[in-house]
A and B are shown apart, each in its own frame.
Chain A
Amino acid sequence: MSEQLAECFRDLPDYLSGHLLLSLSALVVGLAFSVPLGIAVSRRPKMSEWAQGVAAVIQTVPSLALLVLMVPLLGGRTGFWPAFAALVLYSILPILANTVIGLRGVDPILIEAGRGLGMSDRELLRKVQLPLAAPVILGGVRTATVLVVGTATLATPVGGMSLGNYIFGGLETSDYVATVFGCVLAAVMAVVMDQLVRLFELAAQNRNRRLAWIGAFAVLLLLGIALYGPLRKFFAPAPAYIAGASFTEQHILSEVMKEKLRSAGFTVNQRKGMAEGVQFLALRGNQIDCCINYTGNIWTVLMKEKEAAERPILRARVRQFLRQHYGVTCLGELGFENAYALAMNPKRAEELLGSDKAQWTVSGLAKQTRRFSVSVSGDLQFFRRPEWRRLRDRYELRFREKIEADPTLMYGAIRDGRVDAIVAYTSDGRIEKYGLVLLQDDLGVLPSYDAILLVSAKAAVKPGFLEALNPLVGDGGAINDAAMQEANRQVDVEGKSPRWVALQLLEVISARQKKQGRR
């Protein structure tokens, strides 16, 4: 636990700074946009209905979806900007609505008094309407603050830096210390910022200069923390960006690449938990430098190929496609495969498919799904992937129940016998841990999923960049199936940190390569 905590604190300056920068800037811009808009529409009932309607619709879009949607809407930009744009949109409704309500709630007698005394519209607004509406408007600002600070944790999947990196990274590697660490920090930050707005509210109400100064000092402090990240980035040499998707293996491999690049003298910045679709866009736009992906994944998702091809042909075509359409260099295979496969408990397999292990195939299972009630569980994306449609249609799979769940829960379900089969990942350490058997894809429907190392066009010409990573892909790859499974198992089952496991893995690799070199 203390090792995990130490790991958390190591990343704290970056994540905290990123989170604050994102929240503060989104709030400031949201405020600067929503209050004037609220003022403008508050006198026109129709327009204010309309504006609030639009803001409410934005609010109903699930926050994660809104963040991810911002990536294509901003022309494929990843990182800070899409997260910022989504958070600004999110902050509008509470501030706008409260501005309108606050201004409308000002006693008409007071407005008439102001007019009658000779205030112009602008003076009336500044001296009477806004001060009287201020408590309600500030209430909206506080709501927006809590909302934005909370939602900023979702910047992680679009490549933004935030406390969400702890939460997502922790969930995916079963590191609950990191998850709780991130949640607690995000909550504390929300409370602190909420109370800060409250402080200004009190200072304004009681015309208390001292409170205002304390508040201003706190804001400066927060601003300082927020600017730490960008300033460090500005003064430090441009780092190499490593993207990683949101599962254990990716976290380990991100650390592996980081070590390799660091020892070659690069400053490294990890973008963990980036959605895969976002990664390809970022790679094409040179916003990230390298990442690990899988041939079958690119084959079905990007190339939209319907039929599987033989492994070497598939590899070559993926390589060619990436170069032509994305300008991305495929440096080579890492040496292992992480394919989708239907996995079962041997006992259940024997009940359903008989004791002859040659009959433990997808065809065999498919036949039984058409006769009995059989359930299957997959991760949150598999049943929406083309692979699933092809598998279902070619084998005529008729599962009674499809359960979509987080991988950790999915493996728990098959272990406890609450589900008959799962869609497992072949490099997953938990297959061995729970003694699962993989059903053979006897019709060859699924493509192969060789792990490949992808490098952006810009990074490929950085001196020494390819050389630093080459040892990972030389000779058909440095990490074989068994090594990757073992590494995954150590994280998922034994609770080791991805970083520790990565260092172990690198030691094994370099020892082996030295031995081969001597020979």
Chain B
Amino acid sequence: MIVLKQVSKTYDTGQAAVCDVSLQVPTGKLLVLLGGSGSGKTTTLKMINRLVEPTSGRIEVDGRDVLSVDRVQLRRGIGYVLQGCGLFPHMSVADNIAVVPRLLNWSAERIEKRIDELLHLVHLPPAEFRSRMPRQLSGGQQQRVGFARALAAGPKVMLLDEPFGALDPLTRDELRNEFLQIRRQLGLTAVMVTHDMTEALLSADLIAVMNAGRLLRLGTPHDLLRHPGDDFVAALLSSPKRQADQLETLFAGRPNGGLS
């Protein structure tokens, strides 16, 4: 369970990035932070693993105040996936996956086994992919390795910063479905940042809509679609809804029906 209580972040320049955000992510659930650029969604995410230190408020992961835990130890227990995946270009696929287990001083044997396990999990045959360098992988394959790396030490909590942002639509769909499946399978508690409404609606157990550093609305996708409760949220959600209607019309064979 992840809990944010009245969390704010104001930078030294006086610019307020996040204002008084409170929310809860129940264990095993996926919360999507949804918003445009500058909405404070990424800052909120990074405060959970203390890549950004909150100015005020309290953040708990599994009942512990993150500020009371050593930063480095905290992060080793939380999976982290970045946009463009951030694989280390000077390390092979296997070495990238082994980063955290090595930091945790696992035995070589255990690490080797874990690498194979994870490569299977993300559908990359180890024999073929273990010793490849990141530049020899496609974008989708890189992101799979990124997932495997984040999962390496068996974290219970995952943070994902626009993990599918740099991928083509087909790959994005495929990877998202696989990720959701893995997440459910492992029972991970996760927070994911995105600006893609459709992605949020299709992935989330809970959606937190943010704008200008404030939390506008928190609810299940269903809730939000039914009762936006806020003009901005309504506007934000109208576009996937409209697209879905248009698609439905197309499938039904009524030409240009959606545009009328």
Contact = CB atoms under 8 A, between A and B. Distances in A.
Interface of A: 109-110, 112-120, 123, 127-128, 131-132
Given A132-B89, A132-B90, A117 B84 contact: no
Interface centre among A113, A120, A131, A132 (most CB of B within 10 A): A113
Contacts of B82: 109, 112-113, 116
Given A109-B82, A118-B75, A132-B89, A127 B99 contact: yes
Contacts of B84: 109
B147 interface: no
Contacts of A116: 49, 51, 75, 80, 82, 86, 159
Contacts of B86: 109-110, 112-113, 116
B73 A118 contact: yes
B103 A123 contact: yes
Given A110-B86, A112-B82, A117 B51 contact: no
B103 A115 contact: no
A28 to B, nearest CB: 25
A117 B90 contact: no
Chain B at the A interface: mostly helix, strand, loop or mixed? Answer: mixed
A111 to B, nearest CB: 9
A316 B42 CA distance: 88
Interface in B129-178: 149-150, 159
B183 interface: no
Contacts of A123: 103
Contact of A118 (B90, B103, B159): B103
Contacts of A115: 51, 75
Given A116-B82, A119-B103, A123-B103, A128 B75 contact: no
Interface in B20-78: 49, 51, 72-77
Contacts of B76: 117-118
Interface string B85-108: 011111000000001100100000
Size category, B interface: 20 to 34
Contact of A117 (B73, B89, B149): B149
A117 B87 CA distance: 11
A359 to B, nearest CB: 83
Given A110-B86, A116-B86, A118-B74, 17 more contacts: A110-B89, A113-B82, A113-B87, A114-B88, A115-B75, A116-B80, A117-B99, A117-B150, A118-B72, A118-B76, A118-B77, A118-B100, A118-B103, A119-B72, A119-B103, A127-B99, A132-B88
A109 B73 CA distance: 20
Interface centre among A112, A114, A118, A119 (most CB of B within 10 A): A118
Interface of B: 49, 51, 72-77, 80, 82, 84, 86-90, 99-100, 103, 149-150, 159
Contact of A113 (B72, B77, B88, B103): B88
Contacts of A114: 88
Closest 3 CB pairs of A and B: A113-B86, A118-B76, A118-B75
Nearest to B74: A118
Nearest to B150: A117
Nearest to A205: B90
A319 B75 CA distance: 79
7 contacts: A113-B88, A115-B75, A116-B49, A118-B76, A119-B72, A132-B89, A132-B90
Contact of B51 (A110, A112, A127): A112
A120 B72 contact: yes
Contacts of A120: 72
A45 to B, nearest CB: 16
A120 B76 CA distance: 10
Contacts of A110: 86, 88-89
Contacts of B73: 118
Nearest to A109: B86
Contacts of B150: 117
Nearest to A120: B72
Contacts of B89: 110, 132
Interface centre among B74, B82, B149, B159 (most CB of A within 10 A): B82
A110 B149 CA distance: 13
A325 B145 CA distance: 77
Nearest to B99: A117
A493 B88 CA distance: 67
Contacts of A113: 80, 82, 86-88
A123 B51 CA distance: 16
Nearest to B83: A109
Contacts of B159: 116
Contacts of B77: 118
A137 to B, nearest CB: 13
Contacts of B75: 115-118
A115 B76 CA distance: 9
B89 to A, nearest CB: 7
A128 B51 contact: no
A116 B87 CA distance: 12
Interface centre among A114, A117, A119 (most CB of B within 10 A): A117
A120 B73 CA distance: 9
Interface centre among B73, B77, B90 (most CB of A within 10 A): B90
Contacts of B90: 131-132
A444 to B, nearest CB: 77
A131 B88 CA distance: 10
Contacts of A127: 88, 99
A399 to B, nearest CB: 66
A132 B89 CA distance: 8
A123 B84 CA distance: 22
Contacts of A131: 90
A129 to B, nearest CB: 11
Contacts of B49: 116
A183 to B, nearest CB: 40
A98 to B, nearest CB: 17
Contacts of B100: 117-118
A394 B129 CA distance: 89
A120 B71 CA distance: 9
Contacts of A112: 51, 82, 86
A207 to B, nearest CB: 10
A205 to B, nearest CB: 9
Interface centre among B49, B76, B88 (most CB of A within 10 A): B88
